[in-house]
A and B are shown apart, each in its own frame.
Chain A
Amino acid sequence: MYRNMRWLVIASLVVLALVVGACGTPAPPPPEPTTPLPPPEDTPMPEAGTLEIFSWWTAGGEAEGLAAMYEVFEAQYPGVEIINATVAGGAGMEAKAVLATRMLADDPPDSFQVHAGHELIDTWVVAGVMEPVTSVFEDNDWLDVYPPGVIEVLSQDGEIWSVPVNIHRSNVLWYNTQVFDDNGLTPPTTLDEFFTVADALQAAGVTPLAVGDSGVWVDIHVFESVLLASMGPDAYRGLWDSTTDWNGPEVTDALEAFAQMMEYANEDHSALSWDQAAQLVVDGDAAMTIMGDWSEGYFKSVGLTPEVEFGYVPSPGTGGSFIMLSDSFGLPEGAPNRDNAIAWLTVCGSQEGQDAFNPIKGSIPARTDGDRSLYDVYLQSAMDDFASNEIVPSLAHGAAASEGWVTAFGDAMTLFVADLDVGAAQEAMAQACVDAGMCQ
């Protein structure tokens, strides 16, 4: 096939050269002769073959971590060729478009990345395109090393549907220690303290809260922390199974608190991405930002040291709770290389695989038996909190609710951030719950 392709290109180049050459101008540069041709495709070796892994981890720590996990896999299965099919895109949306299109065309990869929780269940499991992986958990005795809260997020109808490789925390407040010291402030632990601290910072000429919501997921992300702070973990969980009323006063409180919070945010928030907002904290232009713990990777990448130049506490009013999100890998129905996919999932769920991946990615293992010595000071504290806190699912990152619900919620947030109309927003959010089929 490639020989044909090359021939065709040469032939077309000749034609092009004729066409262009006749006008007295040279043809475009010929293909680089030094670049090796890609390996021939689909040459299955008897008991090895290929393994196609689909993810949105294309660059930075996440791609490095994935590569480290591939190394673990290749050491165990040297004969299997890994096809690293990656599509980048904000929070994986373009990746999702590609994946959905492929799944609809009956062309699934062997395994794909998916946020654990309702993104996995309501999109893929309910549609009947996934195979359960309960047997993988049982065969490897994983049911004892994964926290029950995580297993619950992964489960539906008595089966487990994907293997989580990591845990991220959503409700973290990051702050510039210098700014806090200079103004004699301590990081806020409640919403009331937050507003007191924010007033003091504003008086001192510092932007209290850095927000970068050019993507609406950031608004949802900040708001889920405020929701949790306003009603506590039990009621927060109830929002997602309709036991907590979306028309209730706690939701109103949360919306009002969020609206008030945005008054303390940088005016240009909608022009920035989350990492550009983090940069405001790095520069001392802003004091705090509420963002997931991938922020730590950003602070470190620009040369800052945790607990020296920047600090972290649970976002205001959420101490003792841990809003979790998790990247996981699933097994699509009809995976072309099912045995290899199961071998891959076994590596993903193993202690070795997770300890290879997570220190580089900047997240903590989903297992409880990770090797603490491999993780830095922030991640160790996150491991402690994960073991002792109330675990609740993240809305912004697919754990708490279906993607359709999150999308509708995001539309409501987009309008809310512009007009700060609490009544309209609450109505729209209640309607989103109804449209998602969860509320009456």
Chain B
Amino acid sequence: MTRRLNPARIGIYMLLILFAILFLVPVYVLLASSLKAFAEVQDLSKLWRLPSGLHLESFRSAWFGIPEKGLRGLAPNLLNSLYLTVPATIISSMLGSLNGYVLCKWKFRGANVIFPLMLFGMFIPYQSILIPLTQTLAAIGLGGTLWGLILVHVVYGIPITTLIFRNYYAEVPTDLIEAARIDGAGILGVYWRVIFPLSLPGFVVVIIWQFTNIWNEFLFAVTLLQKPELQPITVALRNLAGSQIKEWNMVMAGALIAAIPTLLIYVLMGRYFVRGLLAGSVKG
């Protein structure tokens, strides 16, 4: 079926473009502010104006810092965020995949009770568990370390990753599993030979979700990691703004830098994201 450009289709494009513009308004403010000089960004009556020139120094100071002024740049923190986000995302996705597999295809007695109990974990307000969390991590020797924060993100990632994979695997036909069983595969064999190779779209969804959340997470990171050389980029970003005079141009530049990895993932994996959502979350 070919589609000509009739009035209805023009209307659709107009609406899409209109919404795109509305969505981009804050992005424009963000970008324009990051390119402005301090005095310009401070003058809110000039909010909509283009920057008077390309003041790239806010990007430079956000990235490298200004050592003589005691200001640290974001560069090392970007690396910390990767150290944190990549392992935490991978581990929680693997756990979610295994849990989802077992809870969907190997329902042991009580599995139907355990799953909702697990799921409940994603709904708690995290402020309320900060203090026991810090004390527990300190007690097991993980206080103030990246490992501790990775553990935290893995644990609180279990509910959502399990949910997505469990729903995803529900679509995998039982016949496939039966066939592998007849070939003599055990619980792990089935996972490895049948389930895992089918899991890629599920992994894409989980990775995007976990990567975005862990990358942007602030509360745990700021509480659990004290050493500046370990802090992820969200905390460093917040620290670009002082407590008295806030150089928002630099903070905005920093925010754009911080958003690049997530954005890259959206652009590169966007298609698979929708495909994976389709496979995973359609069922309640």
Contacts and interface: CB of A to CB of B under 8 A. Distances in A.
Interface of A: 5, 8-9, 12-13, 15-16, 19-20, 22-23, 25-26, 28-29, 31-32, 35-36, 38-39, 41, 52, 54, 56-64, 66-67, 70, 83-92, 94-95, 97-98, 101-102, 104-107, 109, 273, 275-276, 279, 283, 294, 297-298, 301-303
A84 B204 CA distance: 38
A19 B114 CA distance: 29
Q: What are the 7 A-B residue pairs with the smallest beta carbon separation, nearest first?
A: A67-B70, A59-B242, A38-B229, A63-B70, A60-B242, A58-B239, A105-B134
A119 B222 CA distance: 22
Contacts of A35: 75-76, 79
A29 B243 contact: no
Given A9-B87, A20-B269, A60-B247, A28 B261 contact: yes
B143 interface: yes
A67 B243 contact: no
A12 to B, nearest CB: 5
A102 B134 contact: yes
Interface in B99-134: 130-131, 134
A54 B223 CA distance: 13
B242 A38 contact: no
A88 B264 contact: no
B11 to A, nearest CB: 33
Contacts of B245: 59-61, 275, 294, 297-298, 301
Given A62-B243, A63-B70, A279-B42, A13 B86 contact: yes
Given A19-B200, A32-B78, A87-B239, A64 B38 contact: no
Interface string B207-245: 100000000000000110011111000010011111111
A25 B208 CA distance: 14
A63 B242 contact: yes
A23 B200 contact: yes
B87 to A, nearest CB: 5
Contacts of B207: 16, 19-20
A124 B261 CA distance: 41
Given A31-B79, A88-B239, A52 B226 contact: yes
Contacts of A88: 238-243
Interface in B247-284: 247, 261, 264-265, 268-269, 272
Contact of A9 (B44, B86, B228, B244): B86
Contact of B223 (A8, A85, A101, A294): A101
Contacts of A101: 130-131, 134, 223
Contact of B86 (A16, A86, A273, A301): A16
B175 interface: no
14 contacts: A5-B83, A19-B207, A23-B204, A28-B82, A29-B261, A32-B78, A35-B79, A58-B241, A59-B71, A67-B69, A83-B228, A105-B143, A297-B244, A302-B38
B90 A16 contact: yes
Interface centre among B146, B243, B265, by most chain A C-beta atoms within 10 angstroms, is B243
B43 A85 contact: no
Contacts of B82: 9, 28, 31
Nearest to A19: B203
Contacts of B238: 87-89, 94
B243 A84 contact: no
Contacts of A23: 200, 204, 269, 272
B243 A57 contact: yes
Nearest to B207: A19
B246 interface: yes
A12 B79 CA distance: 14
Contacts of A31: 79, 82-83
Contacts of B56: none
Contact of A94 (B43, B76, B222): B222
B183 interface: no
Interface centre among A5, A28, A94, by most chain B C-beta atoms within 10 angstroms, is A28
B71 A38 contact: no
Interface string B65-81: 00011110001101100
A191 to B, nearest CB: 28
Contact of A12 (B43, B87, B204): B87
Interface centre among A8, A39, A275, A279, by most chain B C-beta atoms within 10 angstroms, is A8
A58 B87 contact: no
Interface centre among A26, A61, A87, A294, by most chain B C-beta atoms within 10 angstroms, is A87
B239 A67 contact: no
B138 A283 contact: no
Contacts of A29: 261, 264
A230 B239 CA distance: 39
Nearest to B239: A58
Contacts of A38: 76, 229-230
Contacts of B42: 275-276, 279, 302
